[in-house]
Amino acid sequence: MYEFEFKRPGTIADAVAALGAEEAQLLGGGQTLLPTMKQRLAAPAVLVSLGGIAEMQGVCTDDAGRICVGGGTTHAAVSAATAESYPALSHLAGHIGDPAVRNRGTIGGSLANNDPAACYPAAVLASGANVVTNTREIAADDFFEGMFTTALNDGEIITEVKFPVPAAASYQKFLQPASRFALTGVFVAKFAGAVRVAVTGASEDGVFRWSEAEAALSGNFSPEAVDGLSVSADGMIADLHGSAAYRANLVKVLTKRAVAAC
């Protein structure tokens, strides 16, 4: 790790101001950034921690019934707070990484990083959540732009994520054996009148919606509804842990399991 200056502002406004410095970088829970810095693959001059901003902490419900998660809320806190109100989200948050990751890592950090194998993007996209920043509110469908790429501008801070709560939902994660990230993960959310299916870990373009499955499930919400569908291996990730065809298979298998679990 190279030397850097550390700042821990108490308000979003102060964080925005601190980010104006040359080569400044936001620090959420540091579960990706700090290991990267330790390996000297990232070298920010100024690290602006969001950990001291009280207004970005915690979970509440808004007037529209949406679950609103502060951008600085840890996975463990989200899991605990949503156990009753949104069990599928609670389960997802409660199974990210290990206890150390869950008690340091934050929802805002995970979404801003948009690791193609991260869990949270699947929940946000399948729920049709809105990502709130210090300047605007971005619909999930517009937020994820590909591996490690989002709609966020430089210096833009995720302050909150608003989750509509589906009637039923399930997240099925198939673990990569070494890292235990999602080799593929599928989040199915059943809303009145529509079903959304979001897939993480599988595509070279990052999290995506499987629209054929959504259409089929909207008409017939049963595992058999996706039997006739096929997922193309084109554009799927191929690595040591699974071929593109294997990941395409997992998309379908996990979708069926998620529907069955709803």
Q: Binding of other proteins at residue 240 (CB under 8 A)?
A: yes
Cβ atoms < 10 Å from Cβ of 123: 31
253 part of the interface to other proteins, by CB under 8 A: yes
Closest approach of other proteins to the CB of residue 109, in Å:
18
Strand, coil or helix: 35: helix
- Furthest C-alpha separation in the chain: 57
Query: Rounded to whole angstroms, what are the CA distances from 47 to 23, 171, 202?
Result: 9, 33, 32
d(CA 97, CA 91): 12
Helix, strand or coil, per DSSP, at residue 170: strand
Residue 230 interacts with other proteins (CB under 8 A): yes or no: no
CA distance 62 to 222: 31
- As measured in angstroms, the least distance from the Cβ of 58 to other proteins is 31
Least gap, CB of 133 to other proteins (angstroms)? 29
Q: Which two tokens stand for residue 126?
A: 């399948």
Q: Identify the residue among 11, 135, 149, 179 touching other proteins (CB under 8 A).
A: 179
Among 133, 200, 249, 255, binds other proteins (CB under 8 A): 249
Site membership for other proteins, residue 241 (CB under 8 A) = yes
**Binding residue for other proteins (CB under 8 A) from 11, 135, 211, 243?**
243
Q: Which two tokens stand for residue 233?
A: 């291996």
Task: Give the interface size with other proteins as a residue count (CB under 8 A).
Answer: 19
| Four-point Cα dihedral 10, 12, 18, 24, nearest 10 | 110
31 is a contact residue toward other proteins (CB under 8 A): no
Supply the minimum distance, in Å, between the C-beta of residue 159 and other proteins: 30
Query: By the criterion CB under 8 A, which residues form the site for other proteins?
Result: 1-2, 39-40, 174, 177-179, 183, 239-243, 245-246, 249-250, 253
